[in-house]
Amino acid sequence: MKDSVTVVILAGGQSKRMQVKNKAMLLFKGKPLVTHVIECMKPQAKNIVINSHRNKKDFEIFHLPIIDDVLDLEEGPLLGILSSLQEIKTGWIQFVPCDTPYLPDNLVTLLMKEVEVKKTLAAVPETKNGLQSACLLCHTSTLQNLEDFFNQGERKIEDWIRQLPFSIVQFPDESQFININTQEELMKA
């Protein structure tokens, strides 16, 4: 299973709320925020890449492939997902944001199990706070669907997921999906 999934760390945001150039590189517990995500995902998949629209040089220290967005526009994480689907050659892609340092260590296993049982093209975690749509697992065959969706001007990940055959996996611990978007959240985490 590890060979059939590529993890894509979405790190192309503008970091506006954090008021820094590259939120992924902010120190959290002594190391860059994105390092926590990489370390969590390494045992879960053989292939890990970073999607970034900006600050690509910052990520070179991790010696991971970097996928740039296909458009030179600020179109949000859905563009990162689209760009990655166009590049990745494995059957499945597990997307995760760069600012979620406590991701479950069995995320890929649980989502893959669900798509295999339910025969769906995507699986997404859900906590009591709702769908964690940026932590989507999807099959690369969804590319054409996403291209059509994106070309219609749509930009919300959850809206795209909801029109696919998809599964939901319940995760009781919502703290595993905490996004760190502000200095205050960084201090609390």
Q: What does the alpha-carbon distance between residue 74 and residue 92 come to, in Å, rounded to a whole number?
A: 25
Q: What is the pLDDT of residue 21?
A: 61
Q: Is the model's pLDDT at 18 over the cut of 90?
A: no
Number of neighbouring beta carbons within 10 Å of residue 72:
8
For residue 151, the SS3 value is helix
Q: What is the pLDDT of residue 56?
A: 83
Number of neighbouring beta carbons within 10 Å of residue 155:
13
14-18, 106-110, 134-138, 165-169: least confident range: 14-18
Q: For the chain, give the mean pLDDT.
A: 91
Q: Which of 9, 47, 15, 49 is nearest to 135 (CA)?
A: 9
Q: Is the model's pLDDT at 83 over the cut of 60?
A: yes
Q: What is the pLDDT of residue 188?
A: 78
CATH number at 104 reads 3.90.550.10
What is the band of 59 on the pLDDT scale with cuts at 50, 70, 90? very high
Question: What percent of the chain has a predicted confidence (pLDDT) above 90?
Answer: 77
**Residue 56 corresponds to which amino acid?**
K
Higher pLDDT pick, 132 / 73: 132
Q: What is the pLDDT of residue 26?
A: 87
Q: What is the pLDDT of residue 53?
A: 79
- The H or E element that residue 112 is part of is helix 107-118
Instruction: Residue 150: give the domain boundaries.
Output: 2-188
pLDDT digits (tens, 9 = 90+) for 138-150: 999 999 999 999 9
**Under 8 Å between Cβ of 133 and 88:** no
pLDDT digits (tens, 9 = 90+) for 65-78: 999 987 766 668 99
In the chain, % helix, strand, coil (3-state, to 5) comes to: 40, 20, 40
Report the number of distinct structural domains present in the chain: 1
2-6, 59-63, 69-73, 178-182: least confident range: 69-73
In the block, residue with structure tokens 């502000």: 182
**Under 8 Å between Cβ of 164 and 122:** yes
Q: What angle do CA 156, 116, 102 make, to 5 degrees?
A: 55
